[in-house]
Chain A
Amino acid sequence: GAGVSQSPSNKVTEKGKDVELRCDPISGHTALYWYRQSLGQGLEFLIYFQGNSAPDKSGLPSDRFSAERTGGSVSTLTIQRTQQEDSAVYLCASSRDRSSYEQYFGPGTRLTVT
């Protein structure tokens, strides 16, 4: 498909388990972002990748969160030792490059930590 894809669409996990969320950006887009939306909140920036540059991790809420982007394309967001407050919709977006403000979002992964 032509859009940003994310998997899984839904994930239910027990507190303390690790989870991995995947994002496939639009082909050719060099910039990739992760956001999360908690209930009743706006989107919260987590991390940004641009090409081969070091990622901007300034939005990650704790060291339990990490992300990588392999080959400048697919990205994985990993949450270790999940907590109930991690429950949210995790959204991935991509843009053509750093100078493009318009970001295109995937459908998100709804994470529920029980």
Chain B
Amino acid sequence: DQQVKQNSPSLSVQEGRISILNCDYTNSMFDYFLWYKKYPAEGPTFLISISSIKDKNEDGRFTVFLNKSAKHLSLHIVPSQPGDSAVYFCAASGGGSNYKLTFGKGTLLTVNP
């Protein structure tokens, strides 16, 4: 029972264009969502988050959108840079055990020069 789903295992975009990474969840009790970025042989690093009381959070080139009715969130990176190439994990928290993060399987983003 996968509560957080990232249906695209990989995404390839050109440098300077927009990258859109998608995430769906099934547990309506989730109330906080995070995106992590992971390079090979390193641990995930926190990128951006959003509370369920918001529908958008922006930080520089990164914007996360949340659609609660659709149980869907997305991460937009614009403009994309080659250094953004990494695996991106969507994670969710809440439901009474709000310290646990439930992760998706990740999307490998490749930004081509």
Contacts and interface: CB of A to CB of B under 8 A. Distances in A.
Contacts of A59: 100
Interface string B70-113: 00000000000000000001010100011111111110000000
Contacts of A91: 43-44
Interface residues of A, number: 26
Interface residues of B, number: 25
Contacts of A104: 46
Contact of A31 (B34, B99, B105): B99
A4 interface: yes
B19 interface: no
Given A42-B105, A107-B42, A108-B43, A101 B93 contact: yes
A101 B34 contact: yes
A19 B98 CA distance: 30
B4 interface: yes
Contacts of B42: 107-108
A42 B89 contact: yes
B53 interface: no
B45 interface: yes
25 contacts: A4-B43, A33-B100, A33-B101, A35-B101, A40-B105, A41-B105, A42-B4, A42-B6, A42-B89, A42-B105, A43-B91, A45-B102, A56-B99, A56-B100, A91-B43, A101-B98, A102-B46, A102-B49, A103-B46, A105-B36, A105-B43, A105-B44, A105-B45, A108-B42, A108-B43
